[in-house]
């Protein structure tokens, strides 16, 4: 990944082998978690940034606020169910570092090479985040 210019890696889950590889790696890993136990395991390995996945299926912003409460030093990248209708709610949370959403790169636009559409969606998301 680093050969391609990656500055971090992200995964949908967290396992001990993945955590061991991350601590030996040269770029940061943002592993996916959906429980406090997974979060605490990652923290045992020195991590402070986590993907919260799947965010909406796991209770959305309310669940994320509850998980983040006792862990003020941790930041999250929620993904899974994030959409134009709810992404601002996530970005409003102090514990949220960034968000991910597949609506930004729809499969049909990617397959068609419709990069103008993808760029437009990304610009709309950035502008909406500023509001």
State the Cα–Cα distance between residues 125 and 12, nearest whole angstrom: 23
> Which residue ranges make up each domain of the chain?
2-100, 102-131
Output 51 or 131, whichever has higher pLDDT: 51
Q: Is the pLDDT reported for residue 2 higher than 80? A: no
Contacts of 11 (CB under 8 A, 6+ apart): 18, 29, 30, 31, 32, 51
State the Cα–Cα distance between residues 61 and 113, nearest whole angstrom: 33
pLDDT digits (tens, 9 = 90+) for 72-129: 999 999 999 999 999 999 999 999 999 999 999 999 999 999 999 999 999 999 999 9
Output 25 or 114, whichever has higher pLDDT: 114
34's tokens: 């959906």
- Return the CATH superfamily for domain 2-100: Aldolase class I (3.20.20.70)
Residue with tokens 């134009």: 84
């Amino acid at each position: 990944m680093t050969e391609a210019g990656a500055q971090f890696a992200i995964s949908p889950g967290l396992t001990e082998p993945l955590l061991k590889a991350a601590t030996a790696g040269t770029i940061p890993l943002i592993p996916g978690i959906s429980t406090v136990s997974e979060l605490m395991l990652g923290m045992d390995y020195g991590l402070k940034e986590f993907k919260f996945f799947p965010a909406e299926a796991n209770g959305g912003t309310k669940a994320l606020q509850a998980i983040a409460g006792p862990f003020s030093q941790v930041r999250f990248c929620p993904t899974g169910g994030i959409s134009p209708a709810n992404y601002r709610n996530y970005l409003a949370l102090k514990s949220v570092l960034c968000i991910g959403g597949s609506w930004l790169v729809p499969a049909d636009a990617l397959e068609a090479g419709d990069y103008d559409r993808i760029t437009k969606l990304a610009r709309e998301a950035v502008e909406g985040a500023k509001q």
